[in-house]
Structure 1
Amino acid sequence: MDILGYSGYGWLPPALYLLLLIFLSSRSKDKVESSAMTGLIRAAIFLILVIHGLQLHNSVFTPQGFVFGFAQNLSLIAWVGLAFYWFQSGFLPIASLRWLVLVFAFVCSIFPAVFSGTLISPIAVSDPWFKGHFIVATISVGLLSLAAMHAILMSVQDRALHRQLEIAPNGRLAHWLEDLPPLLTMESLLFNLLYVGFALLSLTVFSGLLFSQALFGRPLVFDHKTIFALISWFLFAGLLIARWRVGLRGRVALRWVLSAYIALLLAYVGSRFVLEVILQRA
């Protein structure tokens, strides 16, 4: 039964995200957020996550079969990233990341209502190897998406500190920056995300390389997706090795994170976008 399928309620998740963003932006920035308000916002995010998740499920697992494409992939990645944020925000000081994560989820939730995706072979989807690969890949990219947004936030914070920007005491940016933890704490949180995300990405990439026939029904082909996935893996691996060996940090590390993430997006989203939208092929 299509409770929240994209046929009738396709714009519900983006509408809810937009309402929450409007509410957050309308709140006075000169007031400290109370614990009750924080709990209310977390409850609202959880509710939207449930609705967005149901909608994704019903639009991907249709009566006709498994429907997937770059739009569904992006929306699912954003959903996983927001879910990780929601869970971690209960334990870690990452409230300032909330705006970026919600904007990303809002934008990505629009795409499945516009681009319908492609019907995937039900034989491949029923394979447990494929299911495991798909779940791990989605979690890894979602977690690394959160890490990339964390890196963007750190970059803004770093530039503000190095340039010693004169910001009005009551300005929005001033309060936003004041709410951030120290850069060293932010950096520690970033690499914790990267360690877990890279471990899952490694499992994704090498399971795809070693079991391509079982997962996708075809032998390994070094197409654009495989090449960009390997480039991303080597960039993340190089970053973590440099961090371990020479203590790499600062702007260089942040640029490295964003470069690796762009390659990852090109692998898991870009190839499908080119096929579906530009070439208009399944």
Structure 2
Amino acid sequence: MPEALLYLLTVATYLGLSAYFRPGGPACCGPTGWGRLLLFVPLALHLYLLDEVILPGAGLSLGFGTSFSAVAALTVLFYGLAAWHYPLAGMQSFVLMFGAFGVLLQAVMPGGRVLPDAGMPLFKVHMLAAFAAYGLFAVAALHAALIAIAEKHLHRPVPTRMVAGLPPLLTLEKLLFRMVELGFLILTLTLLSGIFFSESIYGRAFPLTHMTVFGIASWAIYAALLSGRRIYGWRGRTAIFWTLAGFVTLLLSYVGVKFVLEVLLGRA
């Protein structure tokens, strides 16, 4: 199958399923087992396209488009796995649209320079952990947005179908903090492992690059959120704000830097 047709098929499948599971639609908030399996169809195509671009031979090539696409694919993957055990059905349409957008960016901007130390297995594990943190925090950010919508409609006499079948807000918030805790652990390991590769990539053991600054800032935001939850019992809008702020900062740490360098400045 031609590559362009495969990209088109992947995007069309993502968007078709997104429309099928749209908020307020008949399949929105109660997908059955086969309904949960459907999102893995475009995801399998998505991962195949990523493998073709990111791993050309023994190297590791990551540009802005492929980086964002990898984050989107892992977001779909984490959501697909979590939806089997937790009440996340209201997010399905948005997650699928996010996946489609990632594939589109990869199709438009597939290139990227080969990273130093790309052949080292530990470096690939480091990069996989970094994108895993991105994907998990992306799901947490979407979940926080869902909680915000649920709170907005809490006192309305007839809630929208998107939130009508959701569990209590306290249950949703507990799930949110479980995701943040796991993401924080992965992010911590990513930052620590990154120190081992900084010297060979940048010539210094701990360079203060934009990537490093935003990465540490996002770690500090999530650390503050978890500490505030434990000490002060933060919840509701406070938890939502800190979750979204941490994700935006984390997004800027790598994908945002790649966007500025490749798209705005025209540098690889």
Q: TM-score, normalised by structure 1?
A: 0.87
**What 5-or-longer segments of structure 2 have no aligned partner?**
none
Counterpart-to-counterpart distance in 1, 2:170 and 2:231: 18
Larger Rg: 1
| Aligned residue among 116, 140, 144 for 1:147 | 140
Identity of aligned residues (%): 33
- Matched to 1:21, the amino acid is S
1:185-214 superposed Cα distances (whole Å, 9 cap, x missing partner): 100000000110000001111222354125
Corresponding residue number in structure 2 for 1:81? 75
1:55-97 superposed Cα distances (whole Å, 9 cap, x missing partner): 1111212259432112111111111111111111111121112
Per-residue deviation, 1:128: 2.3
**What 5-or-longer segments of structure 1 have no aligned partner?**
168-172
1:95 and 2:89 are equivalent in the alignment = yes
Counterpart-to-counterpart distance in 1, 2:232 and 2:221: 16
1:50 and 2:44 are equivalent in the alignment = yes
Q: Secondary structure at the match of 1:248?
A: coil
| Aligned residue among 207, 226, 231 for 1:221 | 207
Q: Secondary structure at the match of 1:67?
A: coil
| Aligned residue among 59, 66, 71 for 1:72 | 66
Per-residue deviation, 1:133: 0.8
| Aligned residue among 233, 248, 253 for 1:247 | 233
Native 8 Å contact 1:65 1:119 kept in 2: no
Equivalent residue pairs, number: 267
1:67-216 matched pairs, under 5 angstroms? 67-121=61-115, 124-161=117-154, 164-165=155-156, 167=158, 174-214=160-200, 216=201
Counterpart-to-counterpart distance in 2, 1:106 and 1:41: 18
- Matched to 1:19, the amino acid is G
Q: Secondary structure at the match of 1:199?
A: helix
Native 8 Å contact 1:11 1:113 kept in 2: no
Corresponding residue number in structure 2 for 1:11? 8
1:265 and 2:258 are equivalent in the alignment = no
1:148-176 superposed Cα distances (whole Å, 9 cap, x missing partner): 11001111111222xx3465xxxxx6111
- Matched to 2:232, the amino acid is V
Native 8 Å contact 2:62 2:113 kept in 1: yes
Moved runs in structure 1, 4+ residues, more than 4 A? Answer: 30-33
Q: Secondary structure at the match of 2:60?
A: strand
